[in-house]
A and B are shown apart, each in its own frame.
Chain A
Amino acid sequence: MITCKKAGPLIEKEEFEKLSLMKKIGLKLHLAWCKLCKGYKKDSTHLNELIKVGDTSQSTMKLSQAEKSEIKEKLVQ
């Protein structure tokens, strides 16, 4: 039986990668009786979605032409 300490990182890994069969079963069993980890698993998926909102490349922010010229000027000095 795996502990909460082991289950936490496995919950994270499972969001991105396949777990080995043993780990998959171990985690499933753990989640079946541990309410805390089961609750975290729900939050965890949502949290990953929320964190992606922080990606600025989604909105491709740019430097203004004036700011670019300013950098160019500094480089000439």
Chain B
Amino acid sequence: MPNVEQAIDTSGWVDDYSDMLYNFALTRVNDHELAKDLVQDTFVSALKGIDKFQGKSTVKTWLFSILKRKVIDHWRKQESRKTKPMSSLGTDSETGEQKVIERQNKGAVSEIEVDYENKELRTAIMGCIQDLPEKWKGIVIDKLVEERKSEEVCKEHDITPSNLWVIIHRAKIQLKNCLQQKWFDS
């Protein structure tokens, strides 16, 4: 009996898709080796589950959906390893409120120059995004880094539009404090 499912040619997948998958992963995990591993795992899972791919979507969409799940799994693991409360918020219980006041004098976010060539700045920003709570990270990257449409972001993360702006606002306050600390303390 011939197989109903069409045989899918997977031989060109790595050449065709690995760079875009890698870029997506790198923006989200901010680590070359880790991003590379996630891309590799994505291909492994895809080939293992190839019979589940019924051509309902494009190969690209399907690979991205696998990678997105892997990124979220990584964030969850990362989150469960966090021992400290969000120190960048200045709510550190050991040091108390004083730290917040101390921090305010160091420098303002408005003094940081927007410079796409500045690698240190990129590292600082990506580091601060990594420190965000897992549930906010994807939303912030989709909306603020990649500037995707709000409806799309809401749909993907299953949130309401008003919820989106509340999350963006809280996340940006944390990013602001984190950036000021990272930038002016070093």
Nearest neighbor of A11 in chain B, beta-carbon distance? B169
Binary contact readout A21-52 vs B (1 if CB under 8 angstroms, 0 otherwise): 00000000000000000001011101111111
The answer to whether A61 and B168 have CB atoms under 8 Å apart is: no
Which chain B residues in 25-58 approach chain A with CB under 8 Å?
Answer: 26-27, 36, 39-40, 43-44, 47
Bound-complex Cα distance A15 to B9 (A) = 44
CA separation between A40 and B176, bound complex, in Å? 10
Nearest chain B residue, comparing its CB with the CB of A44: B172
- The chain B residue with its CB closest to the CB of A10 is B165
Q: B169 contacts A55, CB within 8 Å?
A: no
Contacts of B126 in A (CB 8 A): 54
Residue of A nearest to B15 (CB): A68
Q: Which of B107-138 contact A (CB under 8 A)?
A: 108-110, 112, 114-116, 118, 121-122, 125-126, 129
Specify which chain B residues have a CB less than 8 angstroms from the CB of A53 in the assembled complex: 114-116, 118, 121-122, 125
B132-184 contacts to A, CB under 8 A, are 140-141, 143-147, 150, 162, 165-166, 168-169, 172-173, 175-176, 179
| A58 CB-CB contact with B under 8 Å | yes
Cβ B114 vs Cβ A74 within 8 A: no
- Distance in Å from the Cβ of B73 to the closest Cβ of chain A? 19
* B97 contacts chain A at the CB level, 8 A cutoff: no
**Shortest Cβ gap from B18 to chain A (Å):** 5
* Contact-size category for A: 35 or more
**Knowing A55-B145, A61-B23, A63-B36 touch, does A75 contact B43 (C-beta < 8 A)?**
yes
How far does the alpha carbon of A61 sit from the alpha carbon of B31 in the complex, in Å? 12
A75 touches B146 (CB 8 A): no
Contact B118 A48 (CB under 8 A): no
Q: Say how far B162's CB is from chain A's closest CB, in angstroms.
A: 7
Cα separation A10 to B35 with both chains bound (whole Å): 35
CB atoms of A52 and B169 under 8 A apart: no
CB distance from B13 to the nearest CB of A (A): 8
Known: A51-B175, A71-B39. A9 touches B165 (CB 8 A): yes
A17-B150, A50-B114 known; A9-B39 Cβ under 8 A: no
Give chain B's interface residues, CB within 8 Å of chain A.
Answer: 14-15, 18-19, 22-23, 26-27, 36, 39-40, 43-44, 47, 108-110, 112, 114-116, 118, 121-122, 125-126, 129, 140-141, 143-147, 150, 162, 165-166, 168-169, 172-173, 175-176, 179
